[in-house]
Chain A
Amino acid sequence: NAGVTQTPKFRVLKTGQSMTLLCAQDMNHEYMYWYRQDPGMGLRLIHYSVGEGTTAKGEVPDGYNVSRLKKQNFLLGLESAAPSQTSVYFCASSYGAGGVDQPQHFGDGTRLSIL
């Protein structure tokens, strides 16, 4: 049982390049989330999904897209990377329980640098 797995762990991009971050969970969780973590700002929600085939915007969605084609996977895409997107990206997942919050489990993160 690996929990939440993120790939890649590190990546350096040039401004304007595109890439996709992959998150996979093996806990059969309904809900999945993408956060970014910047120094001194805590974690901020980018996008989230409450089930296969569904996605929704979080607090800071601009410049990112997501897809959840399979229940266990949640992809975060950067279409045209900008230096402001340099950050550590965390994926998380949780059970969906009819409006009652459940603990979110985090992956190890992806450290992304945009030059």
Chain B
Amino acid sequence: GENVEQHPSTLSVQEGDSAVIKCTYSDSASNYFPWYKQELGKRPQLIIDIRSNVGEKKDQRIAVTLNKTAKHFSLHITETQPEDSAVYFCAASSGQGAQKLVFGQGTRLTINP
């Protein structure tokens, strides 16, 4: 089955700097890759997703890149702000009807003012 590895487990950056979180997946059939942000005690919320027919997707300060050959994808946050502090999860799914997501272990991002 699918296995998703996420790095780093913790990340601390200065406000205004960029943050990058990386994930690798094992199943070459996976074709949907969402990223979720989870604040303490809250629900996971989708912040961006990408499908395998696209190499990069941007939404304001957030971007995701996908390398299908190497089976890895990354989240990039530019001009970080204190409200970006949260736990971020990557996930992968094969899209074979059931839409079963396999999540990474999470990255705790701290933005230092």
Please report A residues at the B interface, Cβ cutoff 8 Å.
31, 33, 40-45, 48, 50, 56, 58-59, 90, 94, 96, 99-109
Given the interface pairs A43-B103, A59-B102, A101-B32, the reply to whether A50 lies near B44 with Cβ below 8 Å is no
The A interface, classified by DSSP as helix, strand, loop or mixed, is loop
A104 CB, nearest partner CB in chain B, Å:
7
Complex contact A42–B104 (CB within 8 A): yes
Complex Cα distance, B96 from A50, in Å, reads: 12
Given the interface pairs A101-B31, A103-B46, A107-B43, the reply to whether A94 lies near B103 with Cβ below 8 Å is no
A64 CB, nearest partner CB in chain B, Å:
16
B25: chain A residues at CB < 8 Å are none
Please report B residues at the A interface, Cβ cutoff 8 Å.
1, 6, 9, 31-32, 34, 36, 42-46, 49, 51, 89, 91, 93, 95-106
Given the interface pairs A43-B44, A106-B43, the reply to whether A94 lies near B99 with Cβ below 8 Å is yes
The B interface, classified by DSSP as helix, strand, loop or mixed, is loop
Checking B34, B45, B96, B100 against A45 with a beta-carbon cut-off of 8 angstroms, the contacting residue is B100
B37 CB, nearest partner CB in chain A, Å:
11
Closest 5 CB pairs of A and B: A101-B32, A42-B103, A106-B43, A101-B95, A43-B103
Complex contact B95–A99 (CB within 8 A): yes
A48 CB, nearest partner CB in chain B, Å:
6
Complex Cα distance, B51 from A102, in Å, reads: 10
Complex contact B93–A42 (CB within 8 A): no
A7 CB, nearest partner CB in chain B, Å:
14
A109 CB, nearest partner CB in chain B, Å:
6
